[in-house]
Amino acid sequence: MASAEAVAAVVEAGGAHVPGLMDALEARLVTVAGSHGAVLGEHATATIAAGGKRLRPLLVFVAAGPAPSGHDAALRAAVAVELVHSATLVHDDVLDAAVLRRGRPTVVAAAGRSIATATGDLLFSRAFAELAGGGSPAAVRVLSDASSALVQGELLQREDAWKLQTTRERYLRRCDLKTARLFRAACELGALAGGGNVPLLGAFGEEIGIAFQLLDDVLDVSGPAERTGKHRGTDLLDGTVTLPLILARERDPELAGLDLRSVRTPEAAEGVCDAIAATGALEAARQEALAMVAEAKAKLTALPEPSQQAALELVADGVVDRYA
Amino acid sequence: MASAEAVAAVVEAGGAHVPGLMDALEARLVTVAGSHGAVLGEHATATIAAGGKRLRPLLVFVAAGPAPSGHDAALRAAVAVELVHSATLVHDDVLDAAVLRRGRPTVVAAAGRSIATATGDLLFSRAFAELAGGGSPAAVRVLSDASSALVQGELLQREDAWKLQTTRERYLRRCDLKTARLFRAACELGALAGGGNVPLLGAFGEEIGIAFQLLDDVLDVSGPAERTGKHRGTDLLDGTVTLPLILARERDPELAGLDLRSVRTPEAAEGVCDAIAATGALEAARQEALAMVAEAKAKLTALPEPSQQAALELVADGVVDRYA
């Protein structure tokens, strides 16, 4: 998602303003990361350069629409959501003592816990500075609410670790807090920048955010590792119970009786992944995500601009493509 | 500082609006801490209840002045600076694996690194939400710049740990980033809320902030432990080189040749504290701080309201009283 092809597709569908803003985003992220001393600069820059899909900024830009009057605010919002996203990744890696992310050493692995915690804090505070520069308190409020939700989602995940009896409601709540609220914020910030329909675009963002997380959790079970950059079953090894496992346990008595803590090696995790896949739970989870994306797209028919509707549909499809 | 007596003194000098705002601050901090789920609520509430001196909020209120039109913005600003201050303490304790703060178990000791990191992140994002609610992007910008400085200051301190050749300039830069910028922000936010002189009050805040840190560092060497709640010489044991040691090394060849890493026990640290005190470095450092406070107070003569000037002078004196 947000690959050159995805951006090209969004442009064709009516988002001609997007590529220029995506370039401006990259330039601004580099400037922000490099402006706070050599040590932080090195690690903040590496974090941001490691990239990722820039899906959240893309959502901001498409939700903002093509009117140039909104571009400054949209750019600030896009930088801010990407900084918040990066900050949480850096802090998560500290807590998980993670060694690699996106195939590169994490900040905590390269520089230790102090510098990694500080790097996350810095990215966090720069996000709000960036947004505040645009002069919209409503925008700051949207981002800080999303940030608080993210933190709660992370905690919920840690609280629920190793709990096989996690319900689907609880799982969906976690997806909402941990992932979808920042997608919602990206769309709301875009709508605020472009004078669009904030509640409608926010609801769209939240729905595709949950679908995104759901498909991510499916991918962790289905693989292949070449696509995800991780072994299959890393969630299982971390004790994270996701929808595929919840659904599979309803279908397979052996999985229902599984002791998650006994799954300790990548090989054992792959075995459980195979057992989950054999129940058809992956397809069921995938169908749920597709239904959410369809529902999110249906909301867009109320938008006044068909070209914006088409562009947002493409972004929604991009979320689904992760799985294809 | 900011004890009942200090607040009473500020009121007498013309800050009759202060006690009501200090009460409103406590109420609002409790509400904010309790509004984000049970786990975070418990630890955020404990962090905030553990209190501290509320010196930064007091600065906001006095800098805002008595006009009721500025009180809502001042209250938001005071809550926000206290939340940022608390967030950095929680994260510092994670990095230091600190067991006690202000005589109570730290969040990291009580609940582990994950919850403590999340608690800090939450307090941080709530600070910006609080400020954004007041509708002033300039205020958000001031706070986020101060937060970035805080992070850089923390890192500088860790970078310089165990380095006896730390210069006084570098030490003062660290005090500025780590402490004084948030004092500056508190005064600037107060001035923004009350329509006051932002640069003048900001410069006042920054100067007493450096003096505050300097006196704190003197206290760490001078004790007594009953006042500070810590053993004398904790900075030495942490490898933190402060002005008393920098000055003492210029005066005592034995201290100049000290190997800081050889100071490993509280008893050894107390011995070095005695050696520092014997050089007269404590008095010299204290005089520097007092000179800064005097300079900060001298700036205030340009203020139009003598009552506000008197109240700010009292706050400045409160900083000095820490040492008395």
CA distance B50 to B79: 15
Using a CB-CB cut-off of 8 Å, the residues of chain A touching B126 are 144, 148
Q: Find out whether A275 and A254 touch, Cβ atoms under 8 Å.
A: yes
Query: What type of residue sits at position B291?
Result: A
Write the CB contacts of A290 (distance below 8 Å, at least 6 apart in sequence). Answer: A211, A320
What ipTM, to 2 d.p.? 0.79
CA distance B130 to B116: 21
Structure tokens at A59: 């959502």
Closest by CA to A203, choosing from A184, A182, A181, A179, is A184
Chain A residues within 8 A (CB-CB) of chain B? 36-37, 39-40, 88, 91, 94-95, 113-115, 117-118, 120-122, 124-126, 128-129, 131-141, 143-145, 147-148, 151-152, 154-156, 158-159
Which residue of A lies nearest to B38 if distances are taken between CA atoms?
Answer: A152
CA A134 to chain centre: 24
Structure tokens at B267: 């008893």
User: Which pLDDT belongs to residue A1?
Assistant: 46
- Smallest Cα distance from B192 to chain A, Å: 15
User: Residue B101: which region, alpha, beta or left (left: phi > 0; alpha: psi -120 to 50)?
Assistant: beta
- A159 contacts B122? CB cut-off 8 A: no
Centre a 10 Å sphere on the Cβ of residue B298 and count the other Cβ atoms it contains: 11
User: Which pLDDT belongs to residue B114?
Assistant: 82
Lowest-confidence segment of A295-304, B63-72, B199-208, B228-237 by average pLDDT: B228-237
Chain B residues within 8 A (CB-CB) of chain A? 36-37, 39-40, 88, 91, 94-95, 113-115, 117-118, 120-122, 124-126, 128-129, 131-141, 143-145, 147-148, 151-152, 154-156, 158-159
- Smallest Cα distance from B140 to chain A, Å: 6
How confident is the model over B282-316, as pLDDT tens digits? 999 999 999 999 999 999 999 999 989 999 999 99
- Confidence band (pLDDT; 50, 70, 90) for A3? low
User: Which pLDDT belongs to residue A71?
Assistant: 94
Centre a 10 Å sphere on the Cβ of residue B288 and count the other Cβ atoms it contains: 19
- The CA dihedral of B187, A117, B211, B281, to the nearest 10 degrees, is 180
pLDDT at A116 over 80: yes
Choose the most confident range, by mean pLDDT, from A29-43, A129-143, B108-122, B198-212.
Answer: B198-212
pLDDT at A77 over 50: yes
CA distance B95 to A173: 30
Q: Which DSSP state fits B280?
A: T
- B113 contacts A158? CB cut-off 8 A: no
Using a CB-CB cut-off of 8 Å, the residues of chain B touching A133 are 137, 141
Give the residue extent of every domain in chain B: 4-321
Using a CB-CB cut-off of 8 Å, the residues of chain A touching B143 are 128
Fold entry, domain A4-321:
Farnesyl Diphosphate Synthase (1.10.600)
pLDDT at A320 over 80: no
Closest by CA to B277, choosing from B316, B233, B311, is B233
User: Which pLDDT belongs to residue A142?
Assistant: 95
**Alpha carbon of A263 to those of A27, A213, A226, A274, B286: distances in Å?**
44, 23, 22, 13, 60
Residue B49 phi, psi dihedral angles, 5° rounding? -65, -35
Q: 3-class DSSP state for residue B100?
A: strand
Average pLDDT over residues A130-153: 89
Of residues A109 and A174, more confidence is placed in A174
- Confidence band (pLDDT; 50, 70, 90) for B1? very low
Structure tokens at A55: 């899906």
User: Which pLDDT belongs to residue A323?
Assistant: 52
H helices of A112-197, in order, are: 113-132, 137-159, 168-175, 181-194
Closest by CA to A199, choosing from A213, A184, A179, is A184
| DSSP string for A10-76 | HHHTT-TTHHHHHHHHHHHHHHHHHSS-HHHHHHHHHHHHT----HHHHHHHHHH-S-GGGHHHHHH
Query: What type of residue sits at position A298?
Result: A
CA distance B315 to B191: 15
User: Residue B258: which region, alpha, beta or left (left: phi > 0; alpha: psi -120 to 50)?
Assistant: beta
Which residue of B lies nearest to A153 if distances are taken between CA atoms?
Answer: B118
How confident is the model over A208-234, as pLDDT tens digits? 999 999 999 999 999 876 565 668 998
Q: Find out whether B276 and B248 touch, Cβ atoms under 8 Å.
A: yes
Element (H, E) at B107: helix B107-111
- A115 contacts B155? CB cut-off 8 A: yes
Angle of helix A18-34 versus helix A55-64 axis, rounded to 10 = 130
Q: Find out whether A73 and A21 touch, Cβ atoms under 8 Å.
A: no
Using a CB-CB cut-off of 8 Å, the residues of chain A touching B139 are 132
The mean predicted confidence, pLDDT, of chain A is: 89
How confident is the model over B35-49, as pLDDT tens digits? 877 777 888 888 887
CA distance B250 to B4: 41
- The CA dihedral of A67, A70, A76, A82, to the nearest 10 degrees, is -50
Element (H, E) at A104: strand A104-105
- A114 contacts B128? CB cut-off 8 A: no
**Alpha carbon of B185 to those of A34, B146, B178: distances in Å?**
23, 6, 12
Average pLDDT over residues A65-79: 94
Q: Find out whether B55 and B322 touch, Cβ atoms under 8 Å.
A: no
Whole-angstrom Cα Rg for chain A: 19
Q: 3-class DSSP state for residue A265?
A: coil
Closest CB to A159 among B39, B136, B139: B39
CA A46 to chain centre: 19
Residue B117 phi, psi dihedral angles, 5° rounding? -60, -45
Helix, strand, coil tally for chain B in percent (to 5):
80, 0, 20
The mean predicted confidence, pLDDT, of chain B is: 89
Measured CA angle at B160 (ends B156, B163), to 5 deg? 165
Q: Find out whether B62 and B189 touch, Cβ atoms under 8 Å.
A: no
Which residue of A lies nearest to B91 if distances are taken between CA atoms?
Answer: A117
